């Protein structure tokens, strides 16, 4: 939080990349790395969707942290004995400290850890998914979609930058604002951008045209949390997602697409936001609503045409140990 009451997100401190040529010292290698996520976190949820769509479950193992953190960071209390069964640690901070004792920032997800050494490799959430899409291609499943098409990258990067600034991070700037002025500014930018995106999507099925891309994944992870937490908890309450005809149908379309809704855990999402942010919700009461059954209702977005996976195919069902309790 800045002195002016505006929330500022810190840049990722650990930005090494896992690449096909291993130029940062971390070569792509099946089974070597472990992706640590919280299903509550929108930044981590991006990596969950991308990993599913690309079929990387067998190449990049998954650790899911408890949605409730404590002062020692993300913890593995969902696992037997409270330890991650692969890394053997109780807290994600142990991998951070193994890499750099006294690192300047907090412990965040998603994070990729090198299994043999136990060292954190990266917590660069902006880059992790792009590298999964472009550097891990040798390990993609047959039929994996192209989520970051080379001919669209400049336009995509510009669109994703606006979505990040005003929507993905904008809800946090509103929710964590320390002054009325800071809140009003973030609120205005958020809904102006949502209106712009809604207009854009009124005539086409996905953000970049007729196929799903990384841009849709980044927008989806905020939209799917909007009514459950951001509308009330973060005071982003001009209207609900369900009150925007286009965005609500678009979000349902993605939710019902294999690889999206089957990674979403609303229980983790709600418990994390309402119980961890005690400065916003000191009672730590988790609201019962909203009614989530609407996520399964028909969306009719297929009337716009499009091919969700382009020349690719839908991913198979998730591994049995990664299945989320359905709505």
Tell me the catalytic residues: 41, 172
Cα(198)–Cα(128) distance, rounded to whole angstroms?
Answer: 27
Q: What is the dihedral of CA 16, 19, 22, 23, to 10 degrees?
A: -60
Cα(48)–Cα(319) distance, rounded to whole angstroms?
Answer: 13
Cα(325)–Cα(262) distance, rounded to whole angstroms?
Answer: 9
- Reduce the DSSP state of residue 1 to 3 states and report it: coil
Burial class (CB in 10 A: 0-12, 13-18, 19+), 49: buried
Residue in 159, 110, 106 with CA at minimum distance from that of residue 132: 110
Report the helix count and the strand count for the chain, using DSSP H and E.
Answer: 10, 4
């Amino acid at each position: 939080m800045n002195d002016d009451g505006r929330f500022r997100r810190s840049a990722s401190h650990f930005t090494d990349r896992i690449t096909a040529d291993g130029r940062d010292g971390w070569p792509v290698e099946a089974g070597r790395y472990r992706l640590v996520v919280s299903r509550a976190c929108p930044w981590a949820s991006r990596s969950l969707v991308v990993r599913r769509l690309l079929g990387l479950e067998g190449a990049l193992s998954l650790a899911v942290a408890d949605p409730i953190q404590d002062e020692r960071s993300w913890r593995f209390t969902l696992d037997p004995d409270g330890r991650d069964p692969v890394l053997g640690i109780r807290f994600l901070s142990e991998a951070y400290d193994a890499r750099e004792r006294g690192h300047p920032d907090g412990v965040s997800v998603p994070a990729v850890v090198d299994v043999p050494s136990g060292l954190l490799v990266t917590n660069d959430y902006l880059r992790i998914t792009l590298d999964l899409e472009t550097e891990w291609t040798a390990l993609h499943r047959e039929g994996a979609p192209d989520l970051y098409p080379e001919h669209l990258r400049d336009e995509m990067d510009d669109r994703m930058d606006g979505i990040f600034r005003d929507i993905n991070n904008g809800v946090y700037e509103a929710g964590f604002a320390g002054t009325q002025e800071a809140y009003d500014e973030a609120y205005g930018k958020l809904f102006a951008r949502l209106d712009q995106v809604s207009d854009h999507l009124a005539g086409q099925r996905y953000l970049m045209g007729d196929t799903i891309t990384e841009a849709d994944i980044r927008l989806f992870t905020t939209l799917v949390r909007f009514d459950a937490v951001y509308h009330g908890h973060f005071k982003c309450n001009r209207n609900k997602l369900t009150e925007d005809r286009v965005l609500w149908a678009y979000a349902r379309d993605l939710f019902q697409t294999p690889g999206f809704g089957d990674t979403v855990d609303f229980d983790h999402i709600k418990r994390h936001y309402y119980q961890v942010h005690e400065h916003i919700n000191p009672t730590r009461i988790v609201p019962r609503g909203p009614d989530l059954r609407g996520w399964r209702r028909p969306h009719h977005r297929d009337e716009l045409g499009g091919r969700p996976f382009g020349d690719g195919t839908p991913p198979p069902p998730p591994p049995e140990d990664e299945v989320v309790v359905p709505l």
